[in-house]
Structure 1
Amino acid sequence: MSQGKVSLTKEVSLYLLLTFSFSSIFYYWISVSDNGWLTFGLMWCPGVASIITYLLINKTIKGFYFGFGKISYLFISFFIPIVSLIIVYGAIWVTELGSFKGFESNFMTKLSFIPMMLLILEGSFYSGRSALGEEIGWRGYLTPRLLENYTPNQVSLFVGIIWSVWHFPLILTGNYGTGSPIFFQLFCFTLMLTGNTYIYTWFRIKSGSLWTGCFIHTSHNLFIFHVFNDLTKSNEITPYFIDETGAIFAIYGLILILAFQRFGWDWPSGLKRHITHMSPSRVNRH
């Protein structure tokens, strides 16, 4: 097969078929076992499927954008999830949907600066080796391939929904999420992940590299599961608002979707122009 003889629809369909077929094996074993290597294998299914798809069609793996691109975006991308988590969990703590337990309650934040930084580096390595498998598929292959024919908004919405659905079996089997009702978790998770996909796409476009997606993914998984959840003391309603399947992150995701749809992709200058246009001083001059 060659890329010129295969439509984008057929190519993406093949990729998704391979991704979900490989993943189904791990969905089952994860549901009956708590072996951490099974999660690692699952997270590499999108990447392996993308490489096979690309080899079948192009006879090469060139085009996955393994270069680092603009280095500054790599550093920024790692800190973006931390800012997002501070906003989301800060809202939970302030509104007392869950309370802040203090930095001493987490094994990482209770350390002094240098040991904490070393632990973050170690955690990033273990989180990153799993995240890379997904990002080779979602941002190395699928996103840039779709961007050849569709707008960033369309691509982000499509990839975000597909990426969310890919997680659904884990939520349905109780291996992901909190103690809130399943359909509530599915709805909130989809909004959260789809909204965050817009950020992944923005960095993918600006940096020209799949590594920004890997850094965002690594940082998010490391800090939400191993830091911010530990820092939060739950009450009877907290499961409805905390974590990736909670309402606060869903609201945050919806805001991201609406913001990108409204202000476009020329951030932050596009937003700055909009604010300047709406400022009272500018209005008074007309």
Structure 2
Amino acid sequence: MAFFLCVLALLMAACMAALLRTQGLLEEHLGLALAFMWTPALASVVARLALREGFQDVSFRLGGAQGRRAVLVAWLLPALAAGLAYGVAWGAGLVAFSPPTLRDFGLEGLPPLARFGVLLAINLTGGLLISAVTATGEELGWRGYLLTRLVAAGVRYPVLWSGLIWWAWHLPLLVSGRYRVGPEPWLSPALFLIPILAASYVMARLRFTTGSVWPAVMLHSSSNAVVQAAFDASSSDASLWVGESGLLVCLTSLLGAALIARWWAPRLPAGVTPRPAPGP
């Protein structure tokens, strides 16, 4: 695990050095964005090869009916949580509801709610596939390697520590202003920790109970596609209420994690270790 973190830090430093020589946000530099998002996966590959650990425990199989249910939950949960958070913000007038015109699709004549519905559908399908390119790079490192090594090493609260490390991985981008999560440059990174920890719990639970990394990839992909490209794109104002570090998003993220803790079966027992997925 320490070896993985050292390799990850070196890869991150190289990406950040290249990014700081440019202008603008990370998303404006697609090559650098892809390289940065794949640093966890690349670090895990280096660690697996150097330490001769193999790749079997990643479990690229879906995991049968349980895995399919987990993928479905992971696909829809971000849209439901964001719908509640942004719906409250829009309905209460905290943030203006202003969906894109969708002129490129010839749909500028549609009413705003219909345009938002189209945008959401696009990002739950094609947009999700694009988002999966970067989300897979992260999840092969976070839930596919780091989390399992924290458990195997007997670290207390491995899910919490995996979430904190995931958040810290974002910090250079956040404090440098190259990844915008809210209007307040210092408060937003702190608030960003809450949905990160909530998502870490949900993804860890799905990862361990199915034995597959794909539910975590799906949740990560769906969250990025839905929140950033549909709900944020339909909100005209930067606000502390919404966005990836918005107060309402923090609350609905915690609610989603609580629902998974209450209703997802089988329950995650103490000291659980990952198991391979039972089938395709």
Structure 2 length as normaliser, TM-score?
Answer: 0.78
| Aligned mates of 1:182, 1:85 — CA distance in 2 | 22
- The aligned residue for residue 74 of structure 1 is 71
Q: Deviations over 1:95-152 (max 9, x none)?
A: 3220222575797863896x9856653322221111100000001111223233558x
Q: Counterparts of 1:40-55 in structure 2 under 5 Å?
A: 40-55=34-49
- The aligned residue for residue 136 of structure 1 is 140
Q: Give the length in aligned residue pairs.
A: 251
| Aligned mates of 1:138, 1:170 — CA distance in 2 | 18
- The aligned residue for residue 85 of structure 1 is 82
| Aligned mates of 2:103, 2:96 — CA distance in 1 | 14
Does residue 28 of structure 2 align to residue 23 of structure 1?
A: no
Compare relative contact order (CA 8 Å, sep 6+) and give the higher one, 1 or 2.
Answer: 2
| Aligned mates of 1:45, 1:270 — CA distance in 2 | 32
Q: Which has the larger radius of gyration?
A: 1
Q: Which residue identity is paired with 2:14?
A: I
Does residue 148 of structure 2 align to residue 148 of structure 1?
A: no
Q: Displacement, 1:250?
A: 2.8
Mapped contact 2:243–2:249 kept (Cα < 8 A):
yes
Q: 1:155 to 1:267 in 2, by over 3 A?
A: farther
Structure 2 gaps, min length 5:
106-113, 268-280
- The aligned residue for residue 227 of structure 2 is 224
- The aligned residue for residue 249 of structure 1 is 249
Return the structure number with greater helix share. 1
Mapped contact 1:65–1:208 kept (Cα < 8 A):
yes
| Aligned mates of 1:106, 1:190 — CA distance in 2 | 36
Q: Displacement, 1:48?
A: 0.8
SS at match of 1:219: helix
Structure 1 length as normaliser, TM-score?
Answer: 0.77
Mapped contact 1:195–1:252 kept (Cα < 8 A):
no
| Matching residue within 32, 54, 64 for 2:58 | 64
Q: 1:163 to 1:179 in 2, by over 3 A?
A: closer
Q: Deviations over 1:159-202 (max 9, x none)?
A: 11110110011111112125533220111011121122111111
- The aligned residue for residue 110 of structure 1 is 115
Mapped contact 2:124–2:222 kept (Cα < 8 A):
no
Structure 1 gaps, min length 5:
1-11, 272-286
Q: Which residue identity is paired with 1:249?
A: V
Q: 1:198 to 1:150 in 2, by over 3 A?
A: farther
Q: Which residue identity is paired with 1:45?
A: T
| Matching residue within 193, 200, 205 for 2:203 | 200
* Percent identity for Structure 1 against Structure 2: 22
My pick for the range that moved more, 35-44 or 121-130, is 121-130
